[in-house]
A and B are shown apart, each in its own frame.
Chain A
Amino acid sequence: MQWETVIGLEVHTQLTTQSKIFSGASTAFGAEPNTQACQVDIALPGVLPVLNKGAVERAIRFGLAIGAKLNRVNVFDRKNYFYPDLPKGYQISQLALPIVEGGSLTIRVGETEKTVRLTRAHLEEDAGKSLHEDFHGMTGIDLNRAGTPLLEIVSEPDMRSAAEAVAYAKALHTLVTWIGICDGNMQEGSFRVDANVSVRPKGQAEFGTRREIKNLNSFRFLEQAINYEVRWQIEQIEDGHPIRQATVLFDPDTGETRMMRSKEDAHDYRYFPDPDLLPVRLDEDWIEQVRGGMPELPQDKQVRYRDVFGLSAYDASTLTGSRAMAEYFEAVAAALPRPDPKLAANWVMGDLAASLNKAELDIAASRISTAQLAGLLARIQDGVLSGKLAKQVFEVMWTEGGEPDAIIEAKGLKQMSDSGEVERIIDAVLAANAKSVEEFRAGKEKAFNALVGQVMKATKGKANPAQVNELLRARLG
């Protein structure tokens, strides 16, 4: 039987506010346990939550970025359950009236574009952390994270493969970091993915029973976990065992998912509107103010890169992989003496990206500034450097630092522009390669290329290959 995979993702993004969603305590990562938990976070008797407007503002930004409906009145609910890292015994979240509803995100897998619909995005607070190691059979509780603002972003079950799920997660990651609402740091848990996975016979309209894989904190794990889960579910069904709804965990060491709890053990969270918080009202002025402060979005940049810059869809998509990359590219392109976005794009996606990759650096930490790279490309544009020489200059700029012009000067990497000197070298090469000259005259075009190569070698690559071509042909002609 042919099987089809159905995937929907729930992503918890930690918002970039300085303080927590309902208290003034800091959200900075990595502090000593329980040093960033105030009386509200530890839920002393009598304390009350006060909503951090910065968290709401970030949710508005997200809603605008995905073309969603912003609920002008949205409500915080209490989700009740007991756990030691949940100090109040309930989590403040949004159930019935989330701040963001609908919207969509376009993803690309290979050459195919696809639109993934979003169900909703709601604000909620994070819980603390339970530390089960290092306490000799006891559990340590760190409440620093308790009350950290999260936007939980829920997609429709629109993805049909692990590759699509990863593409969606990456596109979402790009977007939330792009609009500055999340730092995207997956190691620190700023972007955590739950995947709802089911399979069904191809052509069947109804969804199969899903299992939810919790807390995937890398794109690689997301892909591995879904692939494993899909294989497992198909095997189960083919062996005659129907899938039962459950929550599972992915173990990166074994590459397998394992059952955490079944639907039967699911909590009754006894949701109800939090009486300590008023309904959140979004007025139009505020929304417009937020809209006014939004950066140009990746999808808009892609259209512009294609239509105005004449770049390919692939280039446009690559260059908008992050806001920092797009901004870098645009700065380089803008600084060129002659407009040539394709030249800038090739270098940013080529030599620069390769060097950054090798050094494991983000483009924001590039050793070569946009002005320096533009300076280098300007020398290509004015013919001072050949592409090959430019690569050598780039290498020096990357490893040793420095301005391109100074490097060209110091290392003598300037392209030879004096045709007299090139002609002298050509004469010497022709004299030393009489055999090739004969072959060329006998009609072997290959011999001509060998001669060009010899000239380039004799000039240590500094001659302009086009000029060499031209002069050589004239001399042999």
Chain B
Amino acid sequence: MTHTLKHLSTLLAQGQASSVELCQDYLARIQRLNPTLNAFITVDPARTLAEAAAADARRAAGNAGALTGVPIAHKDIFCAEGWLTTCGSRMLSNFVSPYDAHVIEQFKAAGMPCLGKTNMDEFAMGSSNETSFFGAVKNPWDVARVPGGSSGGSAACVAARLAPAATGTDTGGSIRQPAALCGITGLKPTYGVVSRYGMIAFASSLDQGGPMAQTAEDCALLLNVMAGFDTRDSTSLEREKEEYARALTQPSAQPLAGLRIGLPREFFGAGLSGDTAQAVAAAIAQYRALGATTVEVGLPNSNLSVAAYYVLAPAEASSNLSRFDGVRYGYRTPEYADLTDLYEKTRAEGFGAEVKRRIMIGAYVLSHGYYDAYYLQAQKLRRLIANDFAAAFQQCDVILGPTAPTTAFKLGEKADDPVQMYLSDIYTIAVNLAGLPGMSLPCGFDAGGLPIGMQLIGNYFSEARMLNVAHQYQLATDWHARAPQL
């Protein structure tokens, strides 16, 4: 069960396996391991196998694409017709979506059966997957530890090989940080590359869907499916369809000759754990060996990114989550005296503590008399942070640093300290604020055997090139191929 998408695609093409067989294998593994890991909120074998049978029929009819029949798991933030779509919340614990997200439509069109809906932090708010109404996800490398979040279920299921790949979403690091903590590869595309239609909104100006898989090459194949202009999302970018695997090159002596890698000094200071610093340093050495040069760059405003983010994201969230009022769908409190009581009880009972905290922060920063001091100020910081990156990309082609300051922490360790929890996204948040593409890939293990991730940050629309930078590293190393013993 360690197969990459690429490999599964070949098996299917050569007739060595059917989609139904593959899905049965994965479903069996899910059945065995999910009770321990809690990576999935919903598994529906009958539905999965029906989709697999349809994929096999399509292949038999000669209409198969590269990934037809290869199964995938979807983060439970994507609306999928007929599937329970909870967003990790009690508020949507009974919500069966009547429609497909754009991303889901794309995977259906590609013929990729859905293995299930993966667990996540409630409404994608969290960095440990502990805020899920459906319980915490366990890190497959150490079940006493968190998988990261908010796409913790997707990261854990790929790491544990319960699925060959999964979708995730990333608002402040929610693909990259769990990818790092679980030892897999994940990509957050340039804002606007993947349609947000049907992806339940957390912070609209920051949210972006992306692929999570074992390798950069698999991420490229998945991004080919996910990306694309969608008229139903006004922030979706109208660009020509890209082939994201086009820049992936074969191994050679100096495959990255001419590549300039920027090392932001702010990403290597206090707060970064020793093991992570060492692993990233070794990765930098590896890149030099592959022909790249490195240059120190400055992102002087990056220390403000967590503060700016925790104004802007809650502001948008407080408004985005207003629709969950118990009136039309989702959870409704059983007993209420009047309309206000209905609202108050429904939202008090339907949302968890972290979601309520962010709604309150958001309502506060948008309220009369505070808007200028918080929201507008944070928007200005956002521009400064984007300017920092623009200046850095004058000197380099791609930025490299750690994805997260530490490896996976223990369940409950930071649950009562939101600020400590927020700091685990300190290296990833600025990328969302600037709308840039970023990815995380495995670059080693700490003393306790927990995976370490490094982050690559590219300029706008440089996904294909960034994927090759990751791909070349993965051709030269095998961190990404290691799987936890389960």
Contacts and interface: CB of A to CB of B under 8 A. Distances in A.
A82 B325 contact: yes
A45 B85 CA distance: 9
A437 interface: no
Contacts of B462: none
A245 to B, nearest CB: 16
Interface stretch (B5-13, B252-260, B363-371, B384-392): B363-371
Given A43-B323, A44-B99, A277-B234, A268 B367 contact: yes
B375 interface: yes
Nearest to B316: A275
Nearest to B77: A46
A44 B234 contact: no
A47 B198 contact: yes
Given A80-B366, A88-B322, A46 B200 contact: yes
A42 to B, nearest CB: 6
Interface string A61-103: 0000000000000000010101010011110000000000000
Contacts of B85: 45
Interface in A122-171: 139, 141
A54 interface: no
B325 A89 contact: yes
B346 to A, nearest CB: 11
Interface string A33-46: 00000010011111
Contacts of A50: 231-234
Contacts of A47: 197-198
Nearest to A278: B234
Contacts of B368: 268, 270
Contacts of A78: 319
Contacts of B205: 275
Given A272-B375, A276-B204, A89 B319 contact: yes
A276 B371 CA distance: 19
A271 B315 CA distance: 10
A39 B234 contact: no
Interface residues of A, number: 29
B197 A272 contact: no
A80 B97 CA distance: 25
B419 to A, nearest CB: 24
B204 A89 contact: no
B366 A270 contact: yes
Contacts of B375: 272
Contacts of B198: 46-47
Nearest to A82: B343
B110 to A, nearest CB: 20
B462 to A, nearest CB: 22
A45 B327 contact: no
Nearest to A51: B234
Interface in B64-119: 78-79, 85, 87, 92, 95, 97-99, 101
A108 B163 CA distance: 75
B196 interface: yes
B363 A270 contact: yes
Given A270-B319, A277-B234, A87 B196 contact: no
B333 interface: no
Contact of A275 (B79, B92, B95, B204): B204
Contacts of A45: 79, 85, 87, 92, 95, 97, 200, 323-324, 330
Contacts of B225: none
B319 A90 contact: yes
B270 interface: no
Contacts of B231: 50
A89 B317 CA distance: 12
B201 interface: yes
Contacts of A43: 323, 328
A40 to B, nearest CB: 8
B235 interface: yes
A364 interface: no
Nearest to B201: A46
A49 B234 contact: yes
A78 to B, nearest CB: 5
Contact of B327 (A49, A51, A141, A272): A141
Nearest to B368: A268
B329 interface: yes
B197 A87 contact: no
A46 B197 contact: yes
B199 interface: yes
Interface string B353-376: 000000000010011100100010
Contacts of A272: 315-316, 319, 366, 371, 375
A48 interface: yes
B339 interface: yes
A50 B196 CA distance: 12
Nearest to A272: B366
A49 B375 CA distance: 23
Contacts of B339: 84, 139
A278 B235 contact: yes
A90 B101 CA distance: 22
Contacts of B324: 45
B234 A276 contact: yes
Given A46-B79, A46-B197, A272-B366, A87 B319 contact: no
A44 B101 CA distance: 11
A89 B320 CA distance: 8
Contacts of A141: 327
Contacts of B197: 46-48
Contacts of B199: 46
Interface in B208-243: 231-235
7 contacts: A44-B329, A50-B233, A87-B327, A89-B319, A270-B319, A270-B366, A275-B235
Given A46-B201, A272-B371, 5 more contacts: A43-B328, A44-B98, A48-B232, A87-B328, A275-B203
Please list the 10 inter-chain residue pairs (A to B) with the smallest Cβ-Cβ separation, ordered nearest first.
A89-B322, A270-B366, A275-B205, A275-B204, A46-B198, A43-B323, A45-B200, A46-B79, A46-B200, A268-B368
